[in-house]
Amino acid sequence: MDLMQKVKERKTNISIIGMGYVGFPLAVEFASAGFSVTGIDLDAGKVNVINHGGSHIPDIDPAVVSPLVKAGLLKATTDFDVLESADLMSICVPTPLNKTKNPDVSFILAAAGEIRKRLRKGQLIVLESTTYPGTTEELIRPMLEETGLKVGEDFFLAFSPERVDPGNQVYTIKNTPKVIGACTPECLKYAEAYYSSIVEQVVGVSSTDAAEMVKLLENTFRAVNIGLVNEVALMCDVLGIDVWEVLNAAATKPFGYMPFLPGPGLGGHCIPIDPHYLSWKLKSLNYYARFIELAGEINSSMPTYVTRKVTDALNDVERSVKGSKVLLMGVAYKKDIDDVRESPALDVAKLLQVKGADVCFHDPFVLEFKLNGETLASQELTEELVAGADCVVVTTDHSDFDYQMILEKSKIVVDTRNAFGARGIKDDKIVKL
């Protein structure tokens, strides 16, 4: 049976490598559409949770997963041999930066290596991991063609950037347009057929390089604009102007302006990292990405700025940072999720601890994290905890925090997210960003 016909009749097997924030939701979506899906992950704990009908991702309800597992449409494994029977293979592995802030594509190469060992005619491989333009054509394609099989004829290869926004209840995989670039027109045809079965709109582009660039543009756009408003916050501080008043007033303009908000820094796996992939690629072509580098400098300086705000706030009440108890409200990189990857709250915690502060935290989504080699556990949010802190710092504006109680019981509050202002709460003890 032709691959296109197999897709239409849901008679294809799908394997997704990586069961994280990108791969697992994708697996659930394909399984919900009637495909037989196997997730592959080296973490046996994740595999066990999925195979028992559970979910390790807050956005995915176990009530959705369980019926799919029971119906045999969704399962997980640590064994890459399932790739032999897969018709579609999607690579959704991490793409971090190394210590010198250069791209680390080792996870992509490892996944591609496992596919190469089992590649056969008629298979479609789609890379979803964010990477620099040229990765699919320059790294993956040659690796797979070493088998003697030819792309566009024997197997099909494409790149489709993930657009998952953790915690977003409005835009899901289904209603977020899916960009796809492929190595050949034939590759694009099959990739579009697969994704059209789970998304409302597929946007095809001319090449994998273009699709890779789309993803980097999206997140670089955000990083640069966040860098801009972060610098505006710094300037307003020098000028003695309330930055939130300025931003709220500017946001009333119905054209030519898009609101972005300042904060303690950038977090998450994408925005702090992806622009560096583009910058690195361009450096190899002797081009210096000035906007990216400058925005990176400003955004990475924000935890230091927040630490200074805490220091000044304590000084105003005749307290030294050293020996003071500082309570961080939230350590996830954004509200209402459990992801601490690249969270600026962790940097703030480290800087405060270096200055001698006794740092503790409360986060309903994060049980613990490591700080300078020490494991810190989330404290129960009580009136006693808040009252016992010399300074409370809102580093993540989770929705279910009792902000009124925090204000009433705290001695002083440094609000890096305008959590109080957004709720119409004003008080002299609140120090704004």
Boundary residue ending a domain (174, 206, 238): 206
Q: How much is the average pLDDT of 152-177? A: 93
Q: What percent of the chain has pLDDT over 70?
A: 100
* Same-domain status, 225 and 201: no
pLDDT at position 56: 94
pLDDT at position 50: 98
- pLDDT higher at 320 or 167: 320
Question: Does any domain span residue 215?
Answer: no
Question: Does any domain span residue 214?
Answer: no
* Same-domain status, 236 and 175: no
* Same-domain status, 347 and 412: yes
CATH number of the CATH domain containing 68: 3.40.50.720
Question: Does any domain span residue 417?
Answer: yes
pLDDT in tens, 222-279: 999 999 999 999 999 999 999 999 999 999 999 999 999 999 999 987 888 888 889 9
Full strand arrangement of the beta sheet holding 430-432: 358-362, 325-329, 391-394, 413-415, 430-432
Confidence of residue 7 (pLDDT cuts 50, 70, 90): confident
pLDDT in tens, 413-429: 999 999 999 999 999 99
Domain containing residue 237: 221-432
* Same-domain status, 52 and 120: yes
Question: Does any domain span residue 213?
Answer: no
Q: How much is the average pLDDT of 340-367? A: 96
* Same-domain status, 233 and 307: yes
What is the number of structural domains in the chain? 2
Is the predicted pLDDT of residue 2 greater than 80, yes or no?
no
**pTM score above 0.75:** yes
* Same-domain status, 356 and 381: yes
* Same-domain status, 120 and 200: yes
* Same-domain status, 226 and 179: no
Question: Does any domain span residue 274?
Answer: yes
- When the pLDDT of each residue in the chain is averaged and rounded to a whole number, the result is 95
Boundary residue ending a domain (206, 234, 253): 206
Question: Does any domain span residue 395?
Answer: yes
Confidence of residue 118 (pLDDT cuts 50, 70, 90): very high
Boundary residue ending a domain (206, 231, 260): 206
Is-catalytic flag, 270?
yes
* Same-domain status, 351 and 405: yes
- pLDDT higher at 99 or 307: 307
Q: What percent of the chain has pLDDT over 90?
A: 88
pLDDT at position 373: 83
Question: Does any domain span residue 8?
Answer: yes
* Same-domain status, 93 and 236: no
Q: Kindly name the residue from 92, 183, 187, 270 that is annotated as catalytic.
A: 270
Rounded CA separation 46/55 (Å): 8
Q: How much is the average pLDDT of 383-390? A: 97
Q: Which amino acid is present at 206?
A: S
pLDDT at position 1: 59
* Same-domain status, 104 and 173: yes
* Same-domain status, 384 and 354: yes
pLDDT at position 220: 94
Question: Does any domain span residue 65?
Answer: yes
